[in-house]
Structure 1
Amino acid sequence: MLTSLTLERLEAVALGRDSLVLSRQERQSVEKAHDFLLARIESRQRIYGVTTGYGPLATTYVAPEQSVQLQQNLVYHLCSGVGEPLAIDQVRALMAARLVSLCRGHSGVSSALVERLLFWLLHAVTPEIPSRGTVGASGDLTPLAHLARALSGEGRVSINGGPWMPSATAHRQLELEPLILANKDAIALVNGTSVTAGIAALNAVRAQRAVKLSTLLVLLYAELLEGHREAFHPQIGAVRPYPGQQQLHRWLWALSADSQALKPLDARTLPASLDGVARHQTLPQDAYTLRCAPQALGAAWDVCTQHAETVKTEIASVSDNPLLFPEEEEILHGGNFFGQHLAFASDHLNNAVVQMALYSERRIARVTDPLRNNGLPAFMQPRDTGLHSGFMGAQVSATSLVAELRSQAMPASIQSIPTNADNQDIVPLGTIAARRASTSITQLYQILAIEALVLAQAVDIVGSPSLSTATRALHHWVRQRAVTLGGDRPLAEEIEAIAQALLDPDEVASLIELLD
């Protein structure tokens, strides 16, 4: 059933690798709610946005005969978005999320609207939706209005990722008639949280994968620096029972089981000849980037899990207004479109993403520093160091990305500004929070890509026989996509290519399976 869509499947739909199918039960629910709505309209019931104006103009009553113009004018006045278009995968994600909500049988939309959204997803028709202009209070009115505009044959769309074209031209090519949005079609389409939810769904699965990939990277980092395996012991997590920390202990302990590079557990004793104080001995434990990996990444995993649960709940929700309950013969006006849950969750996730980026950058900094990297060459350049600078520039880029992430880390969810003639006197700004988290995740993957290249270079220098099976697989994965750095060369394209590969669920499936 479409309404049982998982976040992973939603991502696959967004990437064009899966399709949605509406069940018979869902079709019947849509039709039943629509028939109920039509009966109430025919009885001339006052229904917000259907037989009234919008927002503070709801004091205006509108005759049912003007339904089409009322719905069309809603779309027109809300098509005020600005900025670069949302990415195609984000638009497809929000379309899927909106479909799931509408098909629960409480929105009263026509079957024609549902079928057209399904058709567009199946045939890769993507509307151009400006990324800015919504406060997420009555749902994502502005971006969803641009979707409605395109469905009506106006605005622009892309087919199969091609160039933008007029929606009217695309309709002719596809031998379709533009939709006429009437009754409750337009307000039900625009009056929901699905833009925020769609973007947040992509953020959820990508952030969780980032933790898993970071786990592999931190293990390889620890092996290269000959860290103590002891810090990964599950008993440490057992007495501090955060689920995320315990999960990281399990992952790191299991993945490191066959590693010969980490220092094993030992029974530490003082030298028998010790008399007084013996200074400058070997440290019995590691720097925090090694020793606190379960705690740092475990906390991030807990945040990612909490965020994902919030998104799952939102995807399973009906978020427009008013809501129809045909079984109870009620139409109820309320505020399910208010996206506060997603706003808080997205800001919380963004904090975890920034921390993961900072943690990766600190690992890069230590492993490229010849004073702290266990005898590895400076910036991982073993050939004519000084004449060649290796990953020096890439390490600076990682630092810059972290600084930018920090500068943009102010929460959006607390920035409420009253609007709409004070009708929307509080606004959650969840869409801004979700978009910001999405940008942060992209930059996190760029930093992880730099780390992956640096660590793979280190393995090329010292060899891999003592490494764990998992980290040898990680090294092999990187080397399938980027060659060893000999003399200096531009790295920008390689960093971006590795970042995109890390982001792709199919590309990293073999790595993620190591932890599952």
Structure 2
Amino acid sequence: MASKADAIFVMDGPLSVADFVAIASGSRRLALSERVSAGIAAAQARMARCIKENRLVYGVTTGFGPLANAWIDGAHVEELQTNLIYHLATGVGAPLSWVEARGLMLSRLISMAQGHSGASNALVCLMVACLNAGLAAVVPEKGTVGASGDLTPSAHMALALMGEGAFLTRAGETRDSGEVLREIGLQPHRLAHRDGLALVNGTSAMTAIATLNQSRAERAADWAFRLTTAHAEILRGKAEAWAPAFGAFRPHRGQIEAHLRLNRLIEGSRRVDRQRAASLRLQSADFDAEGIQRREIAHQDPYTIRCAPQILGAVLDVLRFHRDIVTVEMNAATDNPLFDTDEPFALHGGNFYGQHIAFAADALSPAVVKLGILSERQLARLVDPAMNHGLPAFLQPYKTGLHSGFMGCQVTASALVAELRSQASPASIQSIPTNANNQDVVSMGTIAARKCRNALDELFRILAIQAMACAQAVDIETRQGEAGFSPDALSLRDFVRRSSRFLHHDRALGGEIETLASRMANPFEEEFLR
């Protein structure tokens, strides 16, 4: 039986976010349908005809950017394309992760597969072979403004395909790309016609990162739902505010879904209070002679429980917006120029401009930060003996004071929220002219996508801390007898316990936080139950 990694995904139409993640992560191999291959060949033929007819084709018969007024003789086309890669390979900083760099190559390939790029069949086949061999180019993450596409990171990908850069293997080893290509029976690519420009001119880096962000953000939202319901069960919250009628009265799609999901997750729980506040009747004994209420009747939870449908519902709606943008962008032709078999000339325009992704990433980032804030505030209530309904201080049930339990963890969560807030300024408005004012307004889409990715990294750490605290609280309650937790709360506890045991006495928890955060973020973690 073939393993997941051996399964073939045949590209013959639009890809979904799940398709993209599966290929980029190496759990699916890739093949192109005959229809897609024919479209790629037709675009290449259209481009070749334009060149033969001595028509103007930007970046093929002209120079680049502000030098586009320079006419280039056809005898120098390979030198022109190669020099394009050389002058753009100026990236700096840490490399993209293995999956992000593969996503960059896949995103560029999908754009070519739309049949408007003019890239050669040999280049396309090489990219497919590299993806199927588990390779990712070593690509520095900084140096693109996302205007004429992700020129700089894509140039480093091109260097690898030319045998002059480096590949990152699945095992994390950095190797000379020419050597790797020879080992797997492939030749380094010589850039012909428009191949250099086809590799760099488009929104591929930002689209790849944003698409992977979408998958991770959806997973983070799933965890936020589960942790919120576990939190409500631990503190014996009131389910009235989660009644689906509220979603019907305020019919945002996300809020409607949030009410349904929250109620589904607490099915089987005997800890949440399902009594309606209006069913309570005040008695004369509740008041003194002057009409002052003798006792407080707690009928509403704090916002971390009561307003969860509104918070999480808004996050779901932002996620839906972000998903729509990245799905369209992922399946689009983002080159310049573009070739249409029904048009006699090349079409010159600006499909490489990354504003859609920039705005979408900057819209998703605040939602990610808000999930971190919600998680930290729920955690703070859980560890505070003044608010946690009788649980021990900082969830340390033995020799409190000698041991401090989750005190340090909550400080770390607070610090991570501070980092999220300090880095929350939108990137999409940070335009700065460059390229001799040819690029006089730029998108900063890749910076926006990277900022969102970094925010997700911190969010999963906060969620991991909260998950450990929830598991601790569930165990404390269940060790005192039958506690009536829902099956979902117990499965959450069990998930945590596979990598972080009950905190009897203080121990260093930093490594456990990182391990659990990684497991929670992993889309192929089979133990995660949706």
Class of the TM-score when normalised by the shorter of the 2 chains: over 0.9
- Does structure 1 conserve the Cα–Cα contact (< 8 Å) formed by 2:334 and 2:352? yes
Segments ≥4 residues shifted beyond 4 Å: none
CA distance in 2, matches of 1:220, 1:186: 53
The one-letter code matched in structure 1 to 2:280 is R
CA distance in 1, matches of 2:386, 2:412: 21
Q: Report matched runs for 1:397-412 at 5 Å.
A: 397-412=412-427
Q: Which residue of 2 aligns with 1:330?
A: 345
CA distance in 2, matches of 1:211, 1:160: 28
Q: Which residue of 2 aligns with 1:290?
A: 305
- Does structure 2 conserve the Cα–Cα contact (< 8 Å) formed by 1:445 and 1:502? yes
Q: Which residue of 2 aligns with 1:484?
A: 502
Q: 1:390 aligned to 2:401?
A: no
What is the total number of aligned residue pairs between the two structures? 512
- Does structure 2 conserve the Cα–Cα contact (< 8 Å) formed by 1:229 and 1:256? no
Identity %: 46
CA distance in 1, matches of 2:267, 2:397: 30
| Partner SS for 1:511 | coil
Q: CA deviation at 1:467?
A: 0.9
Q: Which residue of 1 aligns with 2:252?
A: 242
1:271 to 283, 295, 299: 283
CA distance in 2, matches of 1:272, 1:9: 64
Q: CA deviation at 1:508?
A: 5.4
Q: Which residue of 2 aligns with 1:308?
A: 323
C-alpha deviations, 1:154-194, integer Å up to 9, x for none?
A: 12112333421211221222232110011111101100001
Q: Which residue of 1 aligns with 2:263?
A: 253
Q: CA deviation at 1:107?
A: 0.2
1:66 to 76, 79, 91: 76
| Partner SS for 1:323 | coil
CA distance in 1, matches of 2:419, 2:510: 18
TM-score of the pair, normalised by structure 2: 0.95
- Does structure 1 conserve the Cα–Cα contact (< 8 Å) formed by 2:464 and 2:516? yes
CA distance in 1, matches of 2:318, 2:47: 41
| Partner SS for 2:385 | coil
Q: Which residue of 2 aligns with 1:348?
A: 363
- Does structure 2 conserve the Cα–Cα contact (< 8 Å) formed by 1:97 and 1:197? yes
Unaligned runs of 5+ residues in structure 1 are: none
1:494 to 512, 520, 523: 512
The one-letter code matched in structure 1 to 2:519 is A
The one-letter code matched in structure 2 to 1:403 is A
Q: 1:89 aligned to 2:99?
A: yes
- Does structure 1 conserve the Cα–Cα contact (< 8 Å) formed by 2:362 and 2:428? yes
CA distance in 1, matches of 2:180, 2:353: 34
RMSD (Å), alpha carbons? 1.2
CA distance in 2, matches of 1:26, 1:414: 37
Q: Which residue of 2 aligns with 1:436?
A: 451
Q: CA deviation at 1:148?
A: 0.6
2:65 to 48, 55, 64: 55
C-alpha deviations, 1:238-273, integer Å up to 9, x for none?
A: 101111111110011122232100111231211243
Q: CA deviation at 1:331?
A: 1.3
Return closer, same or farther for 1:271/1:508 CA change in 2, 3 Å cut-off. Answer: farther
Q: Which residue of 2 aligns with 1:318?
A: 333
- Does structure 2 conserve the Cα–Cα contact (< 8 Å) formed by 1:261 and 1:466? yes
Q: CA deviation at 1:494?
A: 0.8
CA distance in 1, matches of 2:392, 2:145: 50
1:80 to 78, 85, 90: 90
| Partner SS for 1:104 | coil
Q: CA deviation at 1:476?
A: 1.5
TM-score of the pair, normalised by structure 1: 0.97
2:54 to 44, 58, 68: 44
Q: Which residue of 1 aligns with 2:4?
A: none
CA distance in 2, matches of 1:151, 1:280: 75
2:154 to 133, 141, 144: 144
The one-letter code matched in structure 2 to 1:20 is L
The one-letter code matched in structure 2 to 1:270 is L
- Does structure 1 conserve the Cα–Cα contact (< 8 Å) formed by 2:92 and 2:141? yes
Q: Which residue of 2 aligns with 1:177?
A: 187
C-alpha deviations, 1:172-217, integer Å up to 9, x for none?
A: 2223211001111110110000110000000011111111111010
Q: CA deviation at 1:274?
A: 4.2
Q: CA deviation at 1:509?
A: 6.0
Q: Report matched runs for 1:115-126 at 5 Å.
A: 115-126=125-136
Unaligned runs of 5+ residues in structure 2 are: 1-9
Q: CA deviation at 1:110?
A: 0.5
| Partner SS for 1:446 | helix
- Does structure 1 conserve the Cα–Cα contact (< 8 Å) formed by 2:50 and 2:346? no
Q: 1:468 aligned to 2:468?
A: no
CA distance in 1, matches of 2:267, 2:476: 23
Q: CA deviation at 1:504?
A: 0.8
| Partner SS for 2:377 | helix
- Does structure 1 conserve the Cα–Cα contact (< 8 Å) formed by 2:477 and 2:483? no
CA distance in 2, matches of 1:330, 1:259: 66
Q: Which residue of 2 aligns with 1:132?
A: 142
Q: 1:367 aligned to 2:382?
A: yes
- Does structure 2 conserve the Cα–Cα contact (< 8 Å) formed by 1:208 and 1:305? no
